[in-house]
Amino acid sequence: MVRESQSIRFMTKGATVSEQSSGDGSPTVVLVHGAFTDASSWNAVIERLQAAGVQVTAPSNPLRGISSDSAYIESFLEQIPGPVLAVGHSYAGALISNAATAAKNVVGLVYVAAFATDEGELLGQVTATSKDAILSTALVTLRYPVGDGAETAGELAVDPARFREVVAADLPAEQTAVMAATQRPIAELAFSEPCGPPAWRTLPSWAVVATEDKAAGTDLVRSQAERAGATITEVKGPHVIMISQPEAVTDVILEALASVRAPAPVVA
């Protein structure tokens, strides 16, 4: 059962949360952005988490490919002292799935309009199965140098004229025009490299499914969240649901935190 804008009961997988947590049991929330955005896309969520007294950070995702980006996020997670709740938007869902398999301080995963990929899957193949997504029709190909002479590789951006339609349909046109102008392209490798073993097989997970997601595709995001056994919250809004509905996304993160936080030690 899925309830709109409200999480359902979760089932813990693998080791117990208390076995994975340390210190005072308060995980750091790590917010990882996806393609065509940057860390500022989490600003409204960060403000709410900080107001709730939560330790939070949002790294810059390189957007250069599944293997290198996953390694970068894994390294970032491992350098955080204590437990971590990893949150990924869109493409970053694949990254936290990969990175948290090796980063042993991660105690839970939150997918926000994100891919909960399985081992061996290629994003380019799975995204083509969505009937809700129209992102592929709005992409333009650019080139970037790879540091080996004149050699270049391909990267993808969203046509600015279609950015609002595909990514952020319920936000003001003026705001989405700025988002389109400042978008960060993603390397084609992100869609052609296979994903690694997913951490959702051993960690509790939550998922925010944006019901009007035309980028990742509501149908695909929902089906992958169900496959991962995630606690699913459906929220009306577009792909950048953390910008248009930050309160609802923050609520899911806080619920996840409450579930993975280790109990305070009992003093005799």
Mean pLDDT computed over every residue of the chain: 90
In a domain, 99, yes or no: yes
In a domain, 158, yes or no: no
Residue range 108-132: average pLDDT?
A: 97
Instruction: Examine the pLDDT at 268 and tell me if it is beyond 70.
Output: no
- pLDDT for 262 equals 60
Domain that holds residue 111: 3-129+189-260
Instruction: Examine the pLDDT at 34 and tell me if it is beyond 50.
Output: yes
Residues contacting residue 203 through CB under 8 Å, at least 6 positions apart: 13, 14, 100, 106, 107, 108, 109
In a domain, 83, yes or no: yes
The share of the chain scoring above pLDDT 70, in percent, equals 88
The torsion of the CA quartet 176, 177, 183, 186, rounded to 10 degrees, works out to: 80
- pLDDT for 263 equals 58
Per-residue pLDDT reduced to its tens digit, 62-83: 999 999 999 999 999 999 999 9
In a domain, 174, yes or no: no
In a domain, 86, yes or no: yes
Dist CA 248 CA 237 (whole Å): 11
- 8-state DSSP, 6: B
Phi, psi of 89 (to 5 degrees): -105, 135
Contact 263, 18 (CB under 8 A): yes
In a domain, 268, yes or no: no
Domain with residue 55: its CATH number is 3.40.50.1820
Residue range 111-131: average pLDDT?
A: 97
The count of structural domains within the chain is 1
